[in-house]
Amino acid sequence: MIWIISVGALSIITIFFLDRLIRSFRVSNYWNKYVMITGCSSGFGEALARHLDNLGFNVFAGCRSAQAMEALSKNSSGRLLPILIDVRENQSIESALAEVKRILPEGRGLWGLVNNAGVLGIVGISEVLTREDFHKVFEVNLFGLIETTRHFLPLVRQARGRVVNMSSIAGRIAFLSGAYGTSKFGVEAYSDLLRREMYHRGVKVCVLEPGGYKTSFSDFNNLTPYLVQLFDERATEEMKQCYGNVRKLYDKLIASQVQYVPNDISPVVEAYTHALTSSFPRTRYYVGKDANFLRLISCLPTCLSDLILALPSSSGT
């Protein structure tokens, strides 16, 4: 029995190190590769665009405003080219595609498409969210991602490159994440669908599933008063009795975010970079301690994960 356990443990360790070794192989000639990134006005997108520029990639950095484009142009090389794009609008996506095609050398495709653009929307108790609340988030996080991919995919296929989609650990396990988490479940499903469609067509599809990081995208400082006010305005008396003291609930949730969510976003940039530069990129990148913890929770039987993550009863608040 001991012999069997030892062989099994040794096999697992060997597979782990072989995987790490294989994933460490890198593609070459960054200077000859072109990458399109959405959501580069700030946060992960801006940091990734500048990092790839420093590595020598040619970067099309998608921004929603001329001001963001101008800011991104500062302290960057001529390889970083800001592109105006609003993923909510098909006409804007088509204009960005035309601009990318105009700039690309003849016969050259896109090595990478990074669907980074996203919005948080309203989080919290889903019963007070409206169809419009969900639609505003889906319009960017899911529908915009799908439309951008649909338009740029032929260029990625031409270069036998890869599509990298920003999801979230909230797309693996749902807990008070509102329309945001729901939209990210859609990103996961679409990415699985696309990966299998592209499997024999030379295109790799990767998904990032980060936990919480402090960026302009997720400013928690003034979130509790806003969510409490929203609940008070929208909830019926029956709902208020049902959920109890929501201020205490939100305070506890957001305090944990403020205390434990890191400011350093470099692990996300590194995951993006690995997905674009590794000869054998991972299908999924779990980024952050909370993401890896919740990944384990998502593997538990549903009855156990529900017990851990269930919203407290009104009497317990």
7 C-beta neighbours (distance < 10 Å), count: 10
Residue with tokens 């994960």: 305
Distances 143 to 47, 137, 162, 290 between C-alpha atoms, Å: 24, 9, 19, 27
**Contact partners, residue 69, CB within 8 Å, separation at least 6:** 61, 63, 82, 83, 84
What is the pairing mode between strands 112-115 and 58-63?
unpaired
The two structure tokens encoding residue 177: 């994440």
Residue among 91, 83, 4, 2 nearest 36 (CA): 83
Q: What are phi and psi of 45, to 5 degrees?
A: -65, -45
Coil, helix or strand at residue 165? strand
Residues classed as catalytic: 180
Coil, helix or strand at residue 36? strand
Q: What are the helix (H) ranges across 160-288?
A: 178-198, 223-234, 237-243, 246-260, 266-277
